[in-house]
Amino acid sequence: MTPAIRVRGLEKSFGDVHVLRGVDLDVAPGSVFALLGSNGAGKTTTIRILATLVHATAGSASVAGHDVATDPGGVRESISLTGQFAAVDEVLSGRENLVLVARLRHLPRAGRIADDLLERFGLTEAASRRVATYSGGMRRRLDIAMSLVGDPAVVFLDEPTTGLDPEGRLAVWDAVRTLAATGTTVLLTTQYLDEAEHLADRIAILHEGHIIADGTLAELRQLLPPARVEYVEKQPTLEEVFLAVIGHGTPAHEQEVA
């Protein structure tokens, strides 16, 4: 199967700062791929090269079968990019933002497309409210919904949950799962291990300009010594207490010790 994203020997320097020093990646069509790395590792730089916003210093990359250097137009027609900071218009409502993007893309039935996306991202009730009144999680979901107008084959999400509260993060995770379920290829970057763990089919770790690990979560776990078995005394959770009190579930003292 041809990868949706293929990167070979990618290098990028800014002056004498060598940010990428030979990155290789393959992302399977319809999968969610997480590029994990600390601040300054070069995640955004990688995405910007793949989205044809900056040129690589060396190496090659193709997206949806189009080479980023020789066919940037083909790449742009196949992708969408959601940056680290939500690009929604505060003054407009959620629905108006979506309709605007659909019109800019010259799509017929912009209203229908907007309503469909609002529904998919759980924003129907807030559709006619100004975005200024949205929570961080709602904004980011709207931002992701906007990037889906026109059904791009490949979606880049650059740190989609950075700066969000836990509830907002969960809402964005749901949005990414919604995307994956429709067969869209997703390349997301994150600094959070648990995010990669929850969302990605494959994870690559970018460190000092190289991919130092690349695999499924199970494969990456095998890089570490086997898990130690620890015995801990488990206090009942409030949920368990609640269920026991209302007469459901096993009493806490009969429960398995983790």
CB count within 10 Å of CB 101 equals 24
Closest distance of CB 83 from Mg ion, Å: 9
Residue 128, phi then psi, degrees to nearest 5: -100, 5
Between strands 66-67 and 58-63, the pairing is antiparallel
**Sheet (strand 5-14) strand order:** 17-27, 5-14, 58-63, 66-67
Where in 1-20 is the site for ligand ADP (CB under 6 A)?
14, 17, 19
Query: Within its chain, how far is the Cα of 187 from the centroid?
Result: 6
Q: Which of 5, 7, 33, 45 binds ligand ADP (CB under 6 A)?
A: 45
Pick the closer one to ligand ADP by CB: 153 or 213.
213
* By CB under 6 A, residue 242 contacts ligand ADP: no
Give the span between the Cα atoms of 17 and 241, in whole angstroms. Answer: 56
Q: Judged by CB under 6 A, which stretch of 43-51, 145-153, 209-217, 225-233 contacts ligand ADP?
A: 43-51
- Stretch of 42-50, 87-95, 115-123, 149-157 contacting ligand ADP, by CB under 6 A: 42-50
Token code pair at residue 159: 């740190």
| Closest alpha carbon to 3 in 57, 48, 50, 37 | 50
User: Given the complex with ligand ADP, which of 37 and 168 has the nearer CB atom?
Assistant: 37
Q: How far is the CB of 16 from ligand ADP (least distance, A)?
A: 11
Position 44 contacts ligand ADP (CB under 6 A): yes
Segment lying near ligand ADP (by CB under 6 A), choices 25-33, 36-44, 67-75, 162-170: 36-44
Q: Could you give phi then psi for residue 145, rounded to 5 degrees?
A: -60, -40
Residue 42 interacts, among ligand ADP, Mg ion, none and using kind-specific CB cut-offs from 5 to 8 Å, with: ligand ADP
- By CB under 5 A, what part of segment 25-84 binds Mg ion? 43-44
Rounded CA gap, 200 and 31, in Å?
Answer: 8
One residue of 3, 37, 152, 168 binding ligand ADP per CB under 6 A: 37
Residue 205 binding ligand ADP, by CB under 6 A: no
Alpha carbon distance 221, 215 (integer Å): 9
d(CA 191, CA 214): 15
By CB under 6 A, residue 41 contacts ligand ADP: yes
Q: Which partner, ligand ADP, Mg ion, none, binds residue 58 by CB below 5 to 8 Å per kind?
A: none
> Can you give the binding site for ligand ADP, defined by CB under 6 A?
14, 17, 19, 37, 39-45
